[in-house]
Amino acid sequence: MSLTLRVDGPRWRAHLESVAEATPGLVPVAKGNGYGFTNARLARRAQWLAERGHDVRTLAVGTYLELPDVAQRWSGDLLVLTPWRPWVPLPEPEVARRLVHTVSRAEDLRLLLDADPRARVVLERMTSMRRHGMSARELWEAGDVLRRHPGARVEGLALHLPLGQGNHLGEVSRLVNDYVAADIAGHHPPAVWVSHLSREELDTLRSQYGDFTFRPRSGTGLWLGDRGALRVTATVLDVHPVERGDAFGYRGRTAPKSGHVLVVSGGTAHGIGLEAPTGEQSIKARATTLAKGGLDAVGFVRSPYAIDGKQRLFAEPPHMQASMLFLPAGSRVPEVGEDVDVRVRFTTTAFDRVVFSD
């Protein structure tokens, strides 16, 4: 009766171990909906990786509010990826001791160290992403602030790089050189915390900067990197035969031809089908969708539900927890209780259940 993420347990765990094995210093990221798994589950899995002997010492979360979900399930260090701001309260001592703040403005560093002179921090340098981070000059100011706070612990430089392959090296070298020039009295060896670098780029950087350690943060590639281990299913809740002209749904729409209306689990509450449905689209938008193959000749929008390997059409916009599909006459009609496949984005879907096979 639910939208379920089904995980081939042995295959998924083997993938996690192969990533951890190939990625020394790996920093698993657990944030948002936990990439579909929940952050609590990812924290336990990170703990498992560490206990299996992999070089996983820090778990990253997206925000301070996500810390309680992971802090008891993971015993190592915790990194918050969203930079600290002056209105963010500092956590209780047990968590504070393990916590590494991301600091992206020299002013925030001053205020944070006033509030907690022993805070652990990574200094974020602005990248071509232009999201958060200090300029070279601000990094230099941060060096000054740190010389006045000898109790602070600098865990390194953080860089958030755009997605893309093969061309980050020049940028990373330039930014690491800024860090060196700022003369930050930090942890030894200094660490560079990075995202979205390929294995080859990391190898090159490790050989170029032998006196630095590199700590690659990874979420998607780690948790979702082996799609073949994951399957999403919904349940067929009801099946109704319809003739051309029969009315159905909230809007009293009529069937354009004979077939079946299927009610399946999964709706807007799960993040299903947020694209504008046909009824609400302008003629132009509808023509565009039609041109892209999203709309069939009778005006239904393609849904993420697949039956017998074929993506099916929404009979009307998804409801809160269920969706209505139209199945034209001639297709095999699934039975009530049958599972059907759903193609969703894992990071935007709220699953009712995550089920592991073993």
Ligand X SMILES: *Cc1c(COP(=O)(O)O)cnc(C)c1O
For residue 253, give every residue at least 6 positions away whose Cβ sits within 8 Å of its Cβ, in sequence order, or none. 247, 279, 315, 316
Residue 220 found at the interface with ligand X (CB under 6 A): yes
Residue 81 found at the interface with ligand X (CB under 6 A): yes
Q: Which is nearer to ligand X, 80 or 327 (CB)?
A: 80
Tokens describing residue 293: 């193959």
Residue 30 found at the interface with ligand X (CB under 6 A): no
Residue 221 found at the interface with ligand X (CB under 6 A): yes
Residue 125 found at the interface with ligand X (CB under 6 A): no
Q: Give the position of tokens 């969706």.
A: 323
Q: Dihedral sign, CA of 23, 26, 28, 29? A: negative
Binding segment for ligand X (CB under 6 A), chosen from 147-155, 217-225, 245-253, 283-291, is: 217-225
Binding segment for ligand X (CB under 6 A), chosen from 50-58, 180-188, 212-220, 349-357, is: 212-220
CB of 31 to ligand X, least distance (A): 6
The residues in 39-78 that bind ligand X, with binding defined as CB under 6 A, are none
Residue 215 found at the interface with ligand X (CB under 6 A): no
Strands 58-61 and 99-103: unpaired
Binding segment for ligand X (CB under 6 A), chosen from 88-96, 105-113, 213-221, 281-289, is: 213-221
Residue 218 found at the interface with ligand X (CB under 6 A): yes
Identity of the amino acid at 15: H
Residue 217 found at the interface with ligand X (CB under 6 A): yes
Q: Give the position of tokens 């209105």.
A: 87
Residue 120 found at the interface with ligand X (CB under 6 A): no
* C-beta of residue 210 within 8 angstroms of C-beta of residue 191: no
Q: Which is nearer to ligand X, 122 or 262 (CB)?
A: 122
What span, in angstroms and rounded, lies between the C-alpha atoms of 324 and 315?
5
* C-beta of residue 131 within 8 angstroms of C-beta of residue 163: no
Residue 190 found at the interface with ligand X (CB under 6 A): no
Q: Which is nearer to ligand X, 220 or 311 (CB)?
A: 220
| Closest to 317 in 3D by CA, of 302, 329, 338, 331 | 302
Tokens describing residue 306: 């697949």
Distances (CA, A) of 5 to 35, 37, 232: 11, 8, 5
Q: Which residue is nearest to ligand X (CB)?
A: 219
Binding segment for ligand X (CB under 6 A), chosen from 7-15, 38-46, 216-224, 350-358, is: 216-224
Q: Which is nearer to ligand X, 62 or 294 (CB)?
A: 62
Binding segment for ligand X (CB under 6 A), chosen from 42-50, 184-192, 211-219, 256-264, is: 211-219
Residue 160 found at the interface with ligand X (CB under 6 A): yes
* C-beta of residue 102 within 8 angstroms of C-beta of residue 119: no
Residue 23 found at the interface with ligand X (CB under 6 A): no
Residue 173 found at the interface with ligand X (CB under 6 A): no
The C-alpha torsion from 220 through 348 and 41 to 153, rounded to 10°, is 60
* C-beta of residue 136 within 8 angstroms of C-beta of residue 181: yes
Residue 29 found at the interface with ligand X (CB under 6 A): yes
For residue 235, give every residue at least 6 positions away whose Cβ sits within 8 Å of its Cβ, in sequence order, or none. 1, 2, 264, 265, 337, 338, 339, 340
Residues that bind ligand X (CB under 6 A): 29, 31, 81, 160, 195, 217-221
